[in-house]
Amino acid sequence: MTMRLHTERAQGMVGDHHATFIPTHREDNDTPIVMQVSMSVPVSLEDVEAVFWILVNGGATLEPCELGDDQYAHAMVLETFLHEGSNRIYLVRQDIEDIKPGSGDYALLLMIRRRVAELYGRPDVPAPRRALTGV
């Protein structure tokens, strides 16, 4: 008797961008699916930079055939968040804060930041507050 393995795909949104990906725990998993889980997770650009940091340090590239492809990048953000978990994302963000300007890691970080900004933009910087003057 041969066992039929299933590779179930998951659906998600990264901002306004729809993506389909294979959740790692379901890849070639023959156990029956009994429920779906949906949630909305607040994510900062720094969180996405940490996701890209994990991906690039794991062997992914920023080239057009990988993270340079918008659809692939959105799917990898979802898959990595699910696979790595928010605790790992948090720890990587802390590691990123320790990167010194001028280092090779800093150059890589700048490339990642550019790509994340291309995909998800940069929030508007609020105008500086004017000092209150007593009149």
The answer to whether residue 5 scores a pLDDT higher than 80 is: no
Radius of gyration, alpha carbons of the chain: 19
pLDDT level of residue 1 (50, 70, 90 thresholds): very low
Per-residue model confidence as pLDDT tens digits over 14-73 = 888 888 887 877 777 788 888 888 888 889 999 999 999 999 999 999 999 999 999 999
Per-residue model confidence as pLDDT tens digits over 69-123 = 999 999 999 999 999 999 999 999 999 999 999 998 999 999 999 999 999 987 6
